[in-house]
Amino acid sequence: MMRILGVSLSSAALAATLLVSSLAAGSLAGAMAQAAEASVSAKSASAGPAKKTKAKNLASSANFEKSVRTRAKPKRVRHSIPRRAATPSKPATDGGPLVRSGSALVMDARGHQIFAKNPDTKRPIASITKLMTAMVVLDARLPFDEMITISADDRDELLNTRSRLRDGLASLSRFELLHIALMSSENRAASALARTTFPGGISPFIAAMTRKAQNLGMTNTRFADATGLDERNVSTARDIVRLLQAAYDYPIIRFATTTESTEVHPYPKRSGMTYLNTNRLIRGGEWEIELSKTGYLKVAGRCLAMRTRIANRPLYMVFLKAPGKLTPFGDSNRLRKWLEHRS
């Protein structure tokens, strides 16, 4: 069950809606846009009682973009940044507040650079990789409701990270795997998507990621896997802005990366499992975020990439190689305060 702007729905119900739209439009790409735009704005007729919660279908497509962008404004939440004994961060070369992230870039929707710190330095990007993974999956136009079982091939053999999706037992729809891979950075979900998209498995999928990066002009970007666990996945803050601009054209990616939580049922006869969004700025409710992705590896530091609105101005913000868990969020808040003061 997903909860978006106070509306709950099951992933299965949304996937069914997406499939019907696909058949009617004759194009899954068009259907995705229609389905995502129809998924959020109003509660519709009850779909019947679920095991513990009541799932509700969503209708009324006219206000999808408005409903995503016009979030309620609860009490302001301040995220405190722990004091660090390290040397103070160097200021950006073009002015602005001090930021602790190794690379940072703020650009507007027209491509104008507003703030930059080491924007062209190549760095590992960790799970920001999953934005490219999602685009390649969606470009393949495969059925959203197709069930995929996690296999031993989806285990992380590089870093031995944990997952609640047990190989050989956990099964979810393609849409559900896409949702938790983007929203919660579930690595086995991303691996299963890459493994099942093309005949031949992972290798042709990585090749497709590389081609798409080249087509987007991401000349300083390289991919070695679909999860972001491989430190050979490298890019620059400037290239990540290009990635965000491309991902923004996919309503499903905007939807999945900005929901606060979802519930899935990968195991028969067991209760559902709740996944949360890894971007605490979305959960805090203070920001108006239209697209986002976080990432973390020891070698990559903390990473954050998002499209947001500040003073009603759409902006792309990228932070790479942040030293602390809260550093990207602190850098975001400092830059936001600076931008609001300038406007």
Identify which has the larger pLDDT, 170 or 67.
170
So what's the pLDDT on residue 284?
85
**pLDDT reported for residue 39:** 41
CB 292 within 8 A of CB 283: no
Is 127 a known active-site residue?
Answer: yes
User: What strand order describes the sheet that includes 7-9?
Assistant: 7-9, 2-4, 261-264, 273-276
CB of 278 closer than 8 Å to CB of 264: no
Query: Can 185 be counted among the known catalytic residues?
Result: yes
Catalytic residue among 11, 89, 101, 130: 130
Question: Which pLDDT belongs to residue 218?
Answer: 98
Q: Mean pLDDT, the chain, as a whole number?
A: 81
Catalytic residue (one of 8, 39, 127, 292):
127
Residue 54 annotated in active site: no
What are the residue boundaries of the structural domains of the chain, listed by start?
Answer: 1-70, 102-342
Query: What topology is assigned to 102-342 in CATH?
Result: Beta-lactamase (3.40.710)
Average pLDDT of 41-49? Answer: 38
pLDDT at residue 30, rounded to an integer = 41
Nearest to 319 by CA among 115, 65, 51: 115
Q: What is the model's pLDDT at position 334?
A: 97
- What is the band of 227 on the pLDDT scale with cuts at 50, 70, 90? very high
The more confidently predicted of residues 24 and 163 is 163
**323 has a pLDDT exceeding 70:** yes
Report the pLDDT averaged over residues 297-307: 98
Instruction: Name the residue with tokens 């290009």.
Output: 242
The catalytic position among 10, 67, 101, 185 is 185
What global pTM score does this model have? 0.75
What is the arithmetic mean of pLDDT over 279-291?
Answer: 93
